[in-house]
Amino acid sequence: MGQLKFKLTHYPEIYGPGPLAQERPDDEIGTMESTIDTLSGAILAGLACRCPRCGRGKLFQGFLTVQPRCEACGLDYGFADAGDGPAVFIMFLAGFIVVGAALVTEVMYRPPLWVHAALWLPLILVVTLGPLRPMKGLMIALQYHHKAAEGRFRGGQP
Ligand SMILES: [Zn+2]
């Protein structure tokens, strides 16, 4: 069984191009040579953890480590200095969400203490770790957009 499967996947000419092969050119036409110069485009790219200039290269190489440069268009990510801004913002927001949810649950169901612990500890992890990457990507995208716009309108007011 395993051997047969292995052989089939290596002779695509027998079965013709798969659906993936047909989607590929379309995909490339859509993204090739396109640079993002709108704010909404930069924000979307940032939230998707993509390069804010071309929208294709990955922004991170680890969980939160920013790559030295874009692997697709070569944009130097040296300008990116998100610092702890996103983390502080998310902690604040997450605390607000979790405390609110805990209060509502307590008032409505009055569960024992262990239920609170079982519910809110995982939720804290999800709401803090989950948005960290997109938020950092968003910060970097906004910084990039700001600097790119500055360069474009150089000569005017700062
Ligand atoms: Zn890029």
Q: Which of 147, 137, 54 is nearest to 90 (CA)?
A: 137
CA 56–ligand 1 middle distance (angstroms): 6
| 51-87 confidence digits (pLDDT tens) | 999 999 999 998 888 999 999 999 999 888 766 667 7
For residue 47, give its domain range. 33-152
Predicted TM-score of the model (pTM): 0.63
Tell me whether residue 20 is in a domain.
no
CA 39–ligand 1 middle distance (angstroms): 16
CA 81–ligand 1 middle distance (angstroms): 17
Tell me whether residue 11 is in a domain.
no
CA 47–ligand 1 middle distance (angstroms): 14
Q: Could you tell me if 89 and 157 are in contact, meaning their C-beta atoms sit under 8 angstroms apart?
A: no
Tell me whether residue 37 is in a domain.
yes
Tell me whether residue 17 is in a domain.
no
What pLDDT, on a 0 to 100 scale, did the predictor assign at position 153? 66
Tell me whether residue 2 is in a domain.
no
Listed in sequence order, the residues at least 6 apart from 75 whose beta carbon sits closer than 8 Å to its beta carbon are: 51, 52, 53, 54, 57, 69, 144
Tell me whether residue 88 is in a domain.
yes
Q: Which of 96, 94, 84 is nearest to 131 (CA)?
A: 94
The whole-angstrom distance between residue 129's C-alpha and the CA centroid of its chain comes to 12
Tell me whether residue 113 is in a domain.
yes
Q: Indicate the number of domains in the chain.
A: 1
